[in-house]
Structure 1
Amino acid sequence: MQEPRRARQLGIEIGVLPTGAHNAITDVSGVRVGHTTIVAGDSIRTGVTAVVPEQLFTWAALPAGLSVGNGYGKIVGSTQVAELGEIETPVLLTATLSTFRVADALVTYLLGLPGREDAQSVNPVVAETNDGFLSDIRARPVTEEHVLAALHGATGGLPGEGCVGAGTGTGALGFKAGIGTSSRVTTTSRGAATVGVLVQSNFSGVLRVCGVPVSRERMGVPVAPVTPGAAPGAAAEHPGNSCVIVVATDARLDARQLGRLARRAIFAMGRVGSDFTSGSGDYALAFATAEPVLPVLPVLPESDVDPLFTAVLEATEEALLNSLFMATTTVGFNGHVRYAVPHDRLLALLGERGVAGTG
């Protein structure tokens, strides 16, 4: 089995802006990530991923914007985010039919925090993609303990990528995918700003790397792989659907501007080959961690948001590629298989086109 490697470890560099220290969403100060990976027997390949901004526990809410590329999916709490332009909880990712158990567990976690003894309302934010090709999604194996483990285990540094947490059973663009992350540092009229992105990839299309189409046929990957011992009548491969993108920035933006930033994150899916099918739930949620000060500083001028747009486009594209390149071939429910992108064949193809290093 090949060793998981990030895009830059393969000699593939996206865009022109520099990355943060970890090239991850955790490069935005105070943002932590935790995963709970659930693998059981031959049929369970799922999990939970938590994006936890520490600032929430000091300021109670952060400005946020939501963009819906295609609404065939679920984000618990999204209407209140759209209405008030803020998040008041960590952002959790999981599998479609486990969304509601995760949301309930997140509420339990929040009500138990010091100072919330009298709270009578909380708006949990939980998003999902469908990992039912590799995992028995009807089993709904995610428990409160799994959710609390992801929240309590959230740390800074480089988060796990590929087949971890909410990405354990997902696939994208014909290959095994999962969780990916990246960041960019840019300059605005207020000084340096960091944009970090984390993705849960599970959507269809033909992979494009640096503009080069990377089909499964070209990579030598079977089109409808089912292992020899699969259950009678096992289904051919599901193409995958949906993508959730979480964007964090330390730039001082309001909810409307964050919605614009989130929209650019969805645009970046097209750079890697998404076909944006009608059954794909494509969502991006962006939040800002800039500290509120008195007197309150104005938000970034509209004339100065373009560097942040460039940053989120580049970081999202690279995060999506990392979600693929860090994933490993996985056998799951009913003997279904999703194959990882073969690095050697990918680099050979890119070398022929003269668009990447040799890894």
Structure 2
Amino acid sequence: MHHDATATVVHGPKRPGTPALEARHLTKHFPVHQLTPTRGGRQVVHAVEDISLALPEATVTAVVGESGSGKSTLARLLTQLIAPTSGQLLLDGVPVGSSARARRAYTRQVHLVLQDPFSSLNSVHRVRHHLERPLKLHRRPGSRDELDARVRALLERVSLSPAERYVDAFPHELSGGQRQRVAIARGLAVEPRVLLADEPVSMLDVSIRLGVLNLLDELRERERLAILYVTHDIASARYLADTVVVMYAGQVVESGPAATITDAPAHPYTQLLLSAAPDPARTERPVLRGRGSPPSLVDPPSGCRFHPRCPFAMAICKERTPPALPVAAEQVAACWLHTKDTEDANDAETAPRPTRPS
């Protein structure tokens, strides 16, 4: 079953349907350090612009886009590794506090799995150390026997079985996929509500990627986790996710159920991603509906940020930022081609329309 990426938060006690984690209007600008001041004030990188996102429990939401689209910055905002320029986070419908105690409670509920399993684990410590540490920091460790039992149970939960084979191994003695499973087990040690996976399989061999994706799918079902899956691979997003959110140049350009987004993409940029994705069933050469490269986020284009690359760009696209427009059930796209009420976009009727696969 697919879920809406923009569900409404109900304030107060948690109610059915309240997302495990929600971001409201998150914005992040990074200052540009310059040796020589420029006119017009200090420049900033517009990394994330006004993004709202909800992660319901027991679902996977995929954030898809090219390198530099703001995906990883969004994940770090959600895990509070970096502070937003503006915006708000809510956990189970309750605004997240800023005190040290609130931050500690938040980090126990929201865990980040990094892209590189080779550097996320300390090479001088055994697997046992990596799993015992969060248990000691965030939970009552109990006796030595109880701690050993918890460590072995964590390894079993991520399908590293028998646990005795891995518990005293060093990271360099494991494969990339096994290291990533240990990193996921470390996150599960604190019993989180939300798992943020930033490109968790991009540095793994193709032959073992599917096993890690299947593990995330099992955790979503078994642990009732809300999972954010950050990826540049829209094909794997279709395989794993309930909802797909497409980012371009720091903004969300399209979102909706995964099957709808990949079968009937409404935004030209989503079509570009899909046309470039490998497809064994494709018999013809892909037609790339776009040109050029992503824009500078120090001085992003006016209007729609995709318009310099878009084959369907109109005059209004250069002047005004498109709102999120409904396209189908639970699917929205920030594209003037889908408006019916804006007088300035009437010439869209005569412009070549993007082809939506049947």
User: Normalising by structure 2, what TM-score?
Assistant: 0.22
Greater C-alpha radius of gyration: 2
User: Normalising by structure 1, what TM-score?
Assistant: 0.22
Structure with the largest fraction of strand: 1
Question: Larger relative CO (CA 8 A, sep 6+): 1 or 2?
Answer: 1
